[in-house]
Amino acid sequence: MRRVFFIFTLIIVASSVAFFFLTKYQPQIISPIGKIIEKPLDKYTIENLRKRQFAGSQIILDDAVATTSSFIAYKFHFVSNNKKVTGLAHIPYGKGKFPVIIQLRGFVEHEKYTPGEGTKHSSEVFASNGFMTIAPDFLGYGASASPSADVFEERFETYTTALNLIPSVKTLPMANSDRIGIWGHSNGGQIALTVLEILNKPITAVLWAPVSKPFPYSILYYTDDFDDHGKALRRRLAKFEDDYDAERYSLTNYLDRIGGPLQLHQGTADESVPQKWSDDLVKVLKDKRKDATNAAQLNYFIYPGADHNLMPSWNVVVSRDVEFFQKYLQ
């Protein structure tokens, strides 16, 4: 009888240990009937986003908010994963189809945000030179729907917003959906890099001082500015890393998938993105571009004394971007 009880106890203990390790260290858990159950944020790993199909939706142009001799700016909206996303589009005058630049802005505080914040002025220059620009507000901004209440899913939804916006371009009759480039600044550069890795296509892209460090360091770096110095975020992050492998969400592990024409700008006086980040990023990208032609399509410009917004070199930066997009998109 004691032997039977001992064996039964061993089975219980072994089962408990196995269940602990499965739930703590695996991105998936196994139900009692053997069915794999995905955790809520598994679908946002870079590999799993690569497997998804993004069909987009109809882009609706709403009110015209600005008119010049070269372009008209419209508010627009579309649907991304059943959520309304608004934004600002600049459309040149003339007979389309115009090449398109998707513009992804950096971080802006909600209370200071207005549509086009961080993209409007460069959009005006691009539109004046024959490019249609589309800049999403992102969820929680403008008249967009609310993002996820989960701080990490809210971050990952910026990727799916961009990934749904790109195929949506084909619904605009004046847009050339075969000629789409991406422009990203700061955190928008991080979104752009991640989207390029997910799509794994030779898409023309321009980056201004992109956030390019591994996740989650890429967000922890900025927590000194938080009222609580990041304590609440670190608690959430600890829970996230209990359930998920952060490496599967980090863009630095997939840089070999970025192979299209790429232009990067960095100021030496940037207090938000250290120059070393961009230096390191460019070095890795160059090392991974073995083909000579592909390597020649990577431009890196450093601006002495320029800040995070590339001031006072802004005009030079934008002129170089116009030339770059004209070379590869027009």
CB under 8 Å to 47, separation ≥6 — which residues? 248
Query: Average pLDDT for residues 13-30, to the nearest whole number?
Result: 44
Q: What pLDDT digit, counting tens, does each position of 32-61 carry?
A: 555 556 799 999 999 999 999 998 999 999
Query: Average pLDDT for residues 138-166, to the nearest whole number?
Result: 97
Query: Average pLDDT for residues 138-161, to the nearest whole number?
Result: 97
Q: What pLDDT digit, counting tens, does each position of 77-106 carry?
A: 999 999 999 999 999 999 879 999 999 999
Radius of gyration of the chain (CA): 23
- Confidence band, pLDDT 50/70/90 cuts, at residue 293: low
Q: Please report the pLDDT score of residue 23 as a whole number.
A: 41
Q: The pTM is what?
A: 0.87
